[in-house]
Amino acid sequence: MDKMNNKEYQKYAEQKIPKPTYFKNIINAFLVGGTICLIGQIIRNILFRFELGEESVASATAIILVFIGSFLTGIGVYDTIGKIGGAGAAIPITGFANSIVAPAMEYKREGLIFGVAAKMFTIAGPVLVYGIGSSVVVGILYLMFTAGR
Amino acid sequence: MIKKRIGSQTIKFPNPPSIIGTSSIVGPKEGDGPLKDYFDIILEDDTWAQESFEKAEAKIQEEAIKLAISNANISMNDLQYLVSGDLLNQIISSSYTARQITLPYFGLYGACSTMTESLSIGSMIVEGGFADKVVCATSSHFSSAERQFRFPLEYGSQRSFASQWTVTGAGATILSATGEGPYITYITPGKIKDFGITDTNNMGGAMAPAAIDTISQHFKDTGYNPDDYDLIITGDLGLVGKRIVLDLMRKEGYDLSQNYTDCGIKIFDGVEQDTHAGGSGCACSAVVFNGYIYKEMLKGNLNRVLLISTGALHSPISTLQGESIPGIAHAVTIDNLKD
C-alpha cells in the first residue's frame, strides 16, 4: 500500500468503479427530455387555439410547464423522473422548477426566512447568476456588432 | 503494571470487557434488506412521528440505548458513561440523545467509524477500571445525511455507481467488566490515510487505504492471520472499497478472499434495493454488528470476528474547497473466548 503514490492510487481506485451505463442513459435522457418537450409542444398548440399572441403563448407554456414540474416535485414524482432521465429531465424548464421547489420543501423546517427563502436557490442560484450574466454579455456583444447599422 | 500495548498500534486486554447487551433499530428500507431478521426494531415510518429527520435520528439513538439497557437486563443506574457519536454537524443526534440519557457523556466524531471508535474507547474505560459498565452507541439517518452532505430529497439527480446509501438506524452496545462474553479482546485504532481522493461519490475508494493499513497493522501486531477469524468485516467500504481491500491486501501478503466482507454489502440487496455500491453511515456497521454479528456470535455460528468500521473525515466545506478525503479505520476483535 505504502509503495503506491497518490496519483497511482487515484488512477487505480478509478478503475474499480463500475462504468456508467452511458448508452442506456443517453437513450433515457432522449426519451424523457423528448416527452417533456412534446408535452410542451402540445400545450403550445392548444394555447394557439385561444388566439393568444406568439409572446403570450410562449410565456403561458413556460408557466404551465413550471407548474407541472413543481407539482410533480411536490407529490414526490420528479426525483424519480430525474433519476431515470438525467439531463433529459434536468435541462427542460420543469427541471429548473424541480431544482427550486425541492430545496424549498426540504428546508421548510428551518423556517420561512432562513430555511425556505434562503435555501430555495442553492441549486438554481448558479444557473440564474451565470444565465443572466451571460445574457448581459451576449447583449453587449450584440449591441457592439450591430450598433450603427 | 501490566503492559497492554502490543506491536505499534494494538491493545490487548488482559481482562477483556464483555458485551452484555446490544440493540439495533433500523428504518423501513433496511428492514426490507437481507438482514431484516436480525434487527430488534424495524420502523415503518422513518420520521418516527418526529417533526424533523434530525429529531427522528436522535429519537432512534435514544431508543436504541434504552433497548440495549433492557436487553442487558440492567438499569440506567448501573451504567457510568455514554460514549457516542454520529454524522451530523456538531454531532447533534448524540448530544440531544445524551440530554435525555442521564449519564456522563463522551461525544465522538469519527464519521462512519464511530461504532468501533466508541467500542475501543468504551473498552479502554472499562478495562482500565474507570467504569464497571458503559454504553457505546451511534446513529445515522439517510434523510438527515442527504440534506447535510448532498441534495434535497426531491431533487431529481442521478447517483453514481460508486455512491452509497446512508443507513437509517442506530445501534448500541453495553460493555461490562464482568460477563459471559462475547468479549472485546483486541483493539487496533487506526491512523488517517489520505491518498488524495476528492470524489465524495467514491467513499469506498477514499477509505479503503485506511482499512488496509489498520487490518495489516492488526495482523502484524497480534500475530493473527486472516484464517484465525471467522469473519473480517469492514464498516462501509461498499463494493468498490471491498474490491480494493481484497486486491491490495493480497499484495500485502494476506488472502482475505475466504472470510472478508463489508457491512455495507451485507445490509442491502444492491440490485433489488438499488443502493449502488452498498450501505454507508455510522449506523451501517452499528446495526450489522449489534444485530447480525452479535446474534450470530451468541448462536456460536461466529466465534471470532474482526470488525473494522471505516470513516471519511471530510466536511461539505472541505469538499467545496477541493480538499481530499481523510480516511480512518478502527479495528476491534470480538471473541466468544477470553483468549
Tens digit of each residue's pLDDT (9 = 90 or more) over A31-75: 999 999 999 999 999 999 998 899 999 999 999 999 999 999 999
Annotate A111-131 with DSSP letters as a single string.
-IIIIIIHHTTTTHHHHHHHH
Give yes or no: residues B27 and B64 share one domain.
yes
Total count of domains within chain B: 2
C-beta separation of B185 from B332 below 8 A: no
Alpha-carbon distance of B338 to B183, in angstroms, equals: 6
Q: Greater confidence, A115 or A3?
A: A115
Alpha-carbon distance of A28 to B161, in angstroms, equals: 17
Alpha-carbon distance of B3 to B269, in angstroms, equals: 44
Alpha-carbon distance of B45 to B36, in angstroms, equals: 16
Per-residue confidence (pLDDT) for residue B6, from 0 to 100:
95
Classify residue A14 as exposed, middle or buried by CB count within 10 Å of its CB (0-12, 13-18, 19+).
Answer: middle
Task: Classify B304 as helix, strand or coil.
Answer: strand
Q: Which residue of A has its CA nearest to B151?
A: A103
Per-residue confidence (pLDDT) for residue B339, from 0 to 100:
73
Give yes or no: residues B231 and B268 share one domain.
yes
Question: Which pLDDT tens digit goes with each residue over A76-112?
Answer: 999 999 999 999 999 999 999 999 999 999 999 999 9
- pLDDT above 70 covers a percentage of chain B that reads 99
The neighbouring-strand residues paired with B83 are B106, B136
Taking each continuous run of H as one helix and of E as one strand, the counts in chain B are 11, 15
Instruction: With beta carbons under 8 A apart, name residues in chain A contacting B154.
Output: 73-74, 76, 78-79, 98, 101-102, 105-106
Question: Which pLDDT tens digit goes with each residue over A4-40?
Answer: 899 999 999 999 999 889 999 999 999 999 999 999 9
pLDDT at B253 over 90: yes
Alpha-carbon distance of B104 to B255, in angstroms, equals: 43
- pLDDT above 90 covers a percentage of chain B that reads 96
**Cis geometry, peptide bond prior to residue B17 (ω within 30 degrees of 0):** no
Give yes or no: residues B257 and B323 share one domain.
yes
Q: How close is the nearest chain A Cα to the Cα of B15, in Å?
A: 34
Give yes or no: residues B197 and B258 share one domain.
yes
Per-residue confidence (pLDDT) for residue A147, from 0 to 100:
80
Nearest to A13 among B51, B157, B197 (CB): B197
Q: Which three cell numbers stand for residue B275?
A: 443502493
Instruction: With beta carbons under 8 A apart, name residues in chain B contacting A97.
Output: none
Alpha-carbon distance of A11 to A120, in angstroms, equals: 37
For residue A42, the tally of other CB atoms under 10 A from its CB is 11
pLDDT at A2 over 80: no
φ/ψ of residue B48, rounded to 5:
45, 40
Residue B259 structural domain = 183-335
Alpha-carbon distance of B162 to B142, in angstroms, equals: 17
Give yes or no: residues B204 and B139 share one domain.
no
pLDDT at B142 over 60: yes
For residue B47, the tally of other CB atoms under 10 A from its CB is 16
State the average pLDDT for chain B: 96
Closest CA to B189 of B127, B117, B108: B117
Give yes or no: residues B210 and B124 share one domain.
no
- CA B326 vs CA B198, B310, B318, B329: distances in Å: 9, 11, 10, 10
- Indicate yes or no: CB of A99 within 8 angstroms of CB of B155: yes
Mean pLDDT of B300-309: 98
Residue boundaries of the structural domains of chain A: 6-106
The neighbouring-strand residues paired with B232 are B260, B306
For residue B58, the tally of other CB atoms under 10 A from its CB is 28
Question: End of a domain among B144, B176, B208?
Answer: B176
Closest CA to B22 of B260, B212, B307, B237: B307
Give yes or no: residues B71 and B148 share one domain.
yes
pLDDT at B290 over 60: yes
- Binding-site residues on chain A for chain B (CB distance < 8 A): 1, 4, 6-7, 9-10, 12-14, 16-20, 25, 73-74, 76, 78-83, 85-86, 89-90, 95, 98-99, 101-103, 105-107, 109, 123
Q: How close is the nearest chain A Cα to the Cα of B60, in Å?
A: 19
CB contacts < 8 Å between A and B, how many?
100
pLDDT at B42 over 70: yes
C-beta separation of B273 from B29 below 8 A: yes
Per-residue confidence (pLDDT) for residue B3, from 0 to 100:
84
Q: Which three cell numbers stand for residue B106?
A: 463522551
Residue B86's domain is classified under what CATH number? Answer: 3.40.47.40
- Please calculate the CA angle A97-A98-A101 and round it to the nearest 5 degrees: 85
Q: Which three cell numbers stand for residue B237?
A: 467500504
Give yes or no: residues B99 and B39 share one domain.
yes
Question: End of a domain among B176, B199, B214?
Answer: B176
C-beta separation of A126 from A138 below 8 A: no
Give yes or no: residues B168 and B248 share one domain.
no
Per-residue confidence (pLDDT) for residue B112, from 0 to 100:
97
Confidence of residue B2 (pLDDT cuts 50, 70, 90): low
Mean pLDDT of B46-62: 97
Question: Which pLDDT tens digit goes with each residue over B82-122?
Answer: 999 999 999 999 999 999 999 999 999 999 999 999 999 99
> DSSP code of B84?
E
Q: Which contiguous run of DSSP H or E holds residue B142?
A: helix B142-149
Question: Which pLDDT tens digit goes with each residue over B162-176?
Answer: 999 999 999 999 999
C-beta separation of B16 from B335 below 8 A: yes
Q: Where are the alpha helices (DSSP H) in chain A?
A: 6-15, 22-49, 54-74, 78-85, 87-90, 93-106, 118-119, 124-146
Alpha-carbon distance of B189 to B310, in angstroms, equals: 11
Q: Which sign does the torsion angle of CA B291, B295, B301, B307 carry?
A: positive
Task: Classify B9 as helix, strand or coil.
Answer: coil
Q: How close is the nearest chain B Cα to the Cα of A3, in Å?
A: 10
Confidence of residue B217 (pLDDT cuts 50, 70, 90): very high
Q: Which residue of B has its CA nearest to A110?
A: B52
Per-residue confidence (pLDDT) for residue B152, from 0 to 100:
93
Mean pLDDT of A130-143: 96
Q: Which contiguous run of DSSP H or E holds residue B115?
A: helix B114-127
Per-residue confidence (pLDDT) for residue A92, from 0 to 100:
95
- Give me the amino acid identity at B132: D
Give yes or no: residues B203 and B322 share one domain.
yes
CA B200 to chain centre: 19
Per-residue confidence (pLDDT) for residue B1, from 0 to 100:
56
Instruction: Determine if residue B169 is left, alpha or beta; phi over 0 gives left, psi from -120 to 50 gives alpha, anything else beta.
Output: left
Question: Which pLDDT tens digit goes with each residue over B144-163?
Answer: 999 999 999 999 999 999 99
C-beta separation of B24 from B287 below 8 A: yes
Question: End of a domain among B116, B145, B176?
Answer: B176
Q: Which residue of B has its CA nearest to A15?
A: B240
Strands in B132-276 per DSSP E: 133-140, 165-166, 169-176, 183-188, 231-234, 260-262
- Binding-site residues on chain B for chain A (CB distance < 8 A): 51-52, 147, 151-162, 195-197, 202, 205-206, 208-209, 212-213, 216, 239-240, 243-244, 247-248, 251-252
Give yes or no: residues B109 and B64 share one domain.
yes
Give yes or no: residues B29 and B168 share one domain.
yes
